[in-house]
């Protein structure tokens, strides 16, 4: 039996808008509920601060970046300090594609926002599965 690698999920840490919150909540759904045994989180601020264990994990394991906006901070950081992410999601662009309004509140998600976070989490889960199947 082939052991599948854990997948690191690096979420936007943007506190300035609801898209960052949506990114983090969707990531937590994946990490805690949907693929808890197959995924780990990588703390973006710690990663940017130079934490060698975080960098090392991302160098040795596939990662998925979950960026709230077009600035793609998580993707840029992982690429710069480790290697190109296996997958990445620009949540702002995805919501536009889906025809879904971004959260209006940056601190609290309403019921519709939580449903969007769950939908995003399902997409991330599909990406985890694809990465592990290809490994």
DSSP state at residue 66 = E
Is this model's pTM higher than 0.85 or not?
Answer: yes
pLDDT, averaged across the chain = 92
pLDDT digits (tens, 9 = 90+) for 9-39: 999 888 778 899 999 999 999 999 999 999 9
Q: What is the mean pLDDT of residues 44-72?
A: 91
Residue 36 burial (10 A CB sphere; 0-12, 13-18, 19+): exposed
Query: Coil, strand or helix: which one is 68?
Result: coil
Strand, coil or helix: what is 31? helix
pLDDT of residue 113: 94
Tell me the HSE value of 128 on the side-chain side, using a 13 A CA sphere.
Answer: 25
pLDDT tens across 97-110, in order? 999 999 988 888 99
């Amino acid at each position: 039996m082939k052991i599948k690698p854990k997948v690191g999920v690096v979420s936007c840490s943007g506190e300035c808008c609801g898209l960052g919150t949506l990114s983090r909540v969707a990531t937590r759904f994946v990490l805690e509920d949907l693929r808890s045994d197959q995924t780990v989180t990588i703390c973006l601020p710690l990663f940017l601060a130079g934490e060698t264990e975080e960098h090392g994990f991302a160098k040795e394991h596939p990662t998925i970046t979950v960026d709230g906006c077009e600035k793609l901070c998580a993707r840029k950081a992982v690429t710069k300090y480790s290697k190109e992410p296996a997958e990445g999601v620009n949540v702002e662009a995805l919501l536009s594609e889906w025809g879904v309004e971004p959260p209006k509140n940056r601190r609290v998600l309403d019921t519709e926002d939580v449903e969007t976070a769950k939908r995003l989490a399902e997409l991330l889960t599909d990406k985890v599965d694809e990465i592990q199947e290809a490994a």
